[in-house]
Amino acid sequence: MVSEEILVIGLGRFGRALARELDKLGHQVMAVDSDAESVQAATRDLQHVAQVDATNVQAMRDIGAAEFKTAVVAIGSDIEASIIATYVLVDLEVPRVWAKAITGSHGAILSRVGAHRVVFPERDMGIRVAHTLTGRTIDYIELDPSFALLETPTPREFVGKKLRDTQIRAKFGLTVVCVKQLGSDFTYATPDTVLRDGDLLVVAGQPKQAEHFATLD
């Protein structure tokens, strides 16, 4: 993986978790927040942290914000600050600006002022959790409204069969992407993979078909 220099603005739960994970992945992270306590807390996890008002163009120039190729505005509840900080980054011609939104209208404004991508962490996690509350779904990721990845235990009717003999694709319109056997890591599924009791499957396809598959016992 190529290391990048990434600016993270806002050190609430989302911003701090994002900055920590980027740091673990080997990227060089500069994290900023206007709140002194948030900055102090983040210094326990991150090497480069600064107290900066991200809505102030000159302050952002002073920390070299214009030199970053990627910046993330992770400000949560202060919608005005989120929008202005995004505009500042766009004005400084940062090539890639991502921004967190908490409502649809907030996201629309962020896009209008120039954010290259708007994310909705709370909404997306809510959708993800909702799909795991019923059936036997363990995890669910919706890539778009017509395609999802779903993790579920192997239905009893397929235990002991080779994947080619289950006809999962013909019956459900789904592709088994990978399989995790007890005590092992996930591996790519092949037609000769034998499904065992307790195996976890990751299937891909239409959300409704995937959710129906996860109700099988």
The strand ranges marked E within 27-68 are 28-33, 49-51
- Is 101:124 a contact under the CB 8 Å cutoff? no
- Percentage of the chain modeled with pLDDT above 70: 100
Beta bridge mates, 73: 9, 99
- Is 196:181 a contact under the CB 8 Å cutoff? yes
Eight-state DSSP code of residue 77: S
pLDDT in tens, 11-42: 999 999 999 999 999 999 999 999 999 999 99
**pTM of the complete model beyond 0.75:** yes
CA angle centred on 193, ends 189 and 197, rounded to 5°: 105
